[in-house]
Amino acid sequence: MDIRELQEKAKLERQSGNHEEAAKLYKQAYEQTSDKWDGWGLALCYNKLKKYKEALAISEEVYDSAPDFEYIKSTLAQAL
């Protein structure tokens, strides 16, 4: 599976409410790309799964690399 397929599958799993599977896919994608959208998706899924410590770590990482990225601010706040 290439990175685009991985990202698309993660997005579809997240949108269908399967946050456990989506988190696994976003984690794989984020480890490969360090893309802010992959990090946001991973943090969002972690928040949904009540894994706030993990969500906070990813949110802070994304925020540090892209402080103007508005979406990460809500996942960061939720993780706190």
pLDDT digits (tens, 9 = 90+) for 4-39: 999 999 999 999 999 999 999 999 999 999 999 999
Side chain identity, residue 12:
L
Can you give the pTM of this predicted structure? 0.96
CA 27 to chain centre: 7
Length reported for the chain: 80
SS3 state at 49: coil
pLDDT score at 1: 81
